[in-house]
Amino acid sequence: MFKFEGPALKLLFFIVPLLLLYGCSSPATKPPIPRSYVAPVMPKPEIIIPNAVQSELDRFKPRSWKYIVIHHSASDAGNASSIGKYHREVNGWENGLGYHFLIGNGNGASDGQIEVGNRWNSQIDGAHAGNGEYNKYGIGICLVGNFENRHPTDSQISSLVYLVNYLQKRCNISTENIVMHCNVRKTECPGNQFPYYDVLARLR
């Protein structure tokens, strides 16, 4: 026999009063739905920036940045902690994570989760571009994943668009200075599946 337990039981408590309230109304009282009716399409996915991340973004007075440089991690999984550990211990970078921001893909961090690196919090040079000018004046954003093999997730792109919009306004960076890593150094990064022009088209 099916037993209502845990979440199912809670759902039942929620649904039963709703049914009592609305379930008995006569269908004849509802206006008919016109044949031409098309349900509005909600933007997918909706992006939710946790207050904690937004306040972390807002907390620091940015120094003068000129560029935004977009990367992929070229790995299937990762987060600020694991990639930062690699940069510190293997690359020997004392400031750890070379990027200013990381955007998770669901493997290691939540899908679309923006992680704020200590280089943003400290407003210091990045170690991501392999190019002095772009390390000094470029904000490094890395999306977790290997976009030689696959696309970023929809949530990652939504978060990236949000973050780039925010940084553009906050730091007064022009759209032509939003670049991919491969634009400033000979590299495949961020991969040939990265939808650069779609991202630019979504900026406002």
Does residue 181 belong to the site contacting Zn ion (CB under 5 A)?
yes
* Region binding Zn ion by CB under 5 A among candidate stretches 46-54, 112-120, 149-157, 180-188: 180-188
- Alpha-carbon distance of 63 to 60, in angstroms, equals 9
* Region binding Zn ion by CB under 5 A among candidate stretches 5-13, 36-44, 99-107, 181-189: 181-189
| 8 Å CB contact between 79 and 50 | no
By C-beta, is 173 or 189 nearer to Zn ion? 189
* Region binding Zn ion by CB under 5 A among candidate stretches 2-10, 48-56, 150-158, 182-190: 182-190
* Region binding Zn ion by CB under 5 A among candidate stretches 40-48, 69-77, 104-112, 192-200: 69-77
- Alpha-carbon distance of 105 to 78, in angstroms, equals 8
- Residue 72 CB, shortest distance to Zn ion, in Å, is 7
- Alpha-carbon distance of 154 to 87, in angstroms, equals 27
- Residue 138 CB, shortest distance to Zn ion, in Å, is 11
| 8 Å CB contact between 113 and 103 | yes
- Alpha-carbon distance of 77 to 16, in angstroms, equals 42
- Residue 99 CB, shortest distance to Zn ion, in Å, is 9
Q: Which amino acid is at 130?
A: G
The only residue of 57, 68, 71, 163 in contact with Zn ion, by rule CB under 5 A: 71
Contacts of 196 (CB under 8 A, 6+ apart): 70, 180
By C-beta, is 7 or 132 nearer to Zn ion? 132
- Alpha-carbon distance of 115 to 53, in angstroms, equals 8
By C-beta, is 114 or 189 nearer to Zn ion? 189
By C-beta, is 49 or 131 nearer to Zn ion? 131
The string of DSSP codes covering 129-171 is: SSSHHHHHHEEEEEESS-TTTSPPPHHHHHHHHHHHHHHHHHH
- Alpha-carbon distance of 198 to 190, in angstroms, equals 14
Total chain residues near Zn ion (CB under 5 A): 3
Write each residue from 76 to 105 as x if it is in contact with Zn ion (CB under 5 A), else as -, in one continuous string.
------------------------------
- Alpha-carbon distance of 124 to 38, in angstroms, equals 50
* Region binding Zn ion by CB under 5 A among candidate stretches 3-11, 63-71, 76-84, 131-139: 63-71
Residues that bind Zn ion (CB under 5 A): 71, 181, 189
